[in-house]
Amino acid sequence: MSTREIRVYKDLMGANEKWAGATRTLLSDQDVVMLNLIGSPGAGKTSLLEAMTPHLSKQARFAVLEGDIETTRDAERLDRLGVPVSQLLSGGACHLEARLVNQALTDFPLRDLDLVFVENVGNMVCPAEFDIGEKAKIAVLSITEGEDKPLKYPLLFREARAVVLTKTDLLPYLEFDLPACRRNIAQIDASLPVFEVSAMTGEGVPAFADWVINTPQTVL
């Protein structure tokens, strides 16, 4: 009789989908919309949330799940603004897993919230592949990254339901072709709304905040 070891491989993606489904049911039951912000390290995701806070606070009750590999620095920035926030540490993984998000959500008083933002781990590739139970993925692209990124990383822009171009106050100082960037995004998905935003000056922030409040609940 053979005693050879038999290796068993579990479907990790399948397990992730089950947790994502559980989260989607949880949020639906509480009438809460969750948006998944995805972008490179330094794209300005936390700064975007900081800039949006004064606008969102007047119209909606929201909380943030901050994803990162290490440290609580981003969560501390939002906490100083009075935003309910929890820090999710991925332990070295390049994306947040649905189970971790689900567990963190249970610590929030969801019945008292309208929106939850997840700032995913800084990466344009891995987070786009994983469903965490969100209503929509939002692509965050800094103009410092170049106008070719939608073509280099098309999956994110296929999965996203909106694109936020950040740091637009730097346009006069960079060789960034804004019309070309918009054409590249349209080449992936011509229906994507694109918001040009500067967290530094506040330009474009109210328009994106209004979209967040008025659109995902009724359209996505």
Separation of CA 32 from chain center: 16
Among candidate residues 158, 160, 90, 85, the one with its CA nearest the CA of residue 120:
90
Sequence ranges of the domains in the chain: 12-214
Grade residue 11 by pLDDT with cuts at 50, 70 and 90: very low
Separation of CA 179 from chain center: 24
pLDDT at residue 10 in the model: 45
Give residue-wise pLDDT tens across range 22-60. Answer: 999 999 999 999 999 999 999 999 999 999 999 999 999
Give residue-wise pLDDT tens across range 102-156. Answer: 999 999 999 999 999 999 999 999 999 999 999 999 999 999 999 999 999 999 9
Least confident of 5-14, 58-67, 168-177, 194-203: 5-14
Grade residue 189 by pLDDT with cuts at 50, 70 and 90: very high
Grade residue 216 by pLDDT with cuts at 50, 70 and 90: low
Say if strands 115-119 and 33-38 run parallel, antiparallel, or are unpaired. parallel
At residue 201, does pLDDT exceed 80? yes
At 55, which amino acid appears?
Answer: H
pLDDT at residue 91 in the model: 83
Residues sharing a CB contact under 8 Å with residue 26, sequence separation 6 or more, in sequence order: 102, 105, 106, 110, 133
The rounded distance, in Å, linking the Cα atoms of 90 and 213 is 28
With residue 193 as reference, give the H or E element that holds it.
Answer: none
**What is the fold of 12-214?**
Rossmann fold (3.40.50)
Grade residue 9 by pLDDT with cuts at 50, 70 and 90: very low
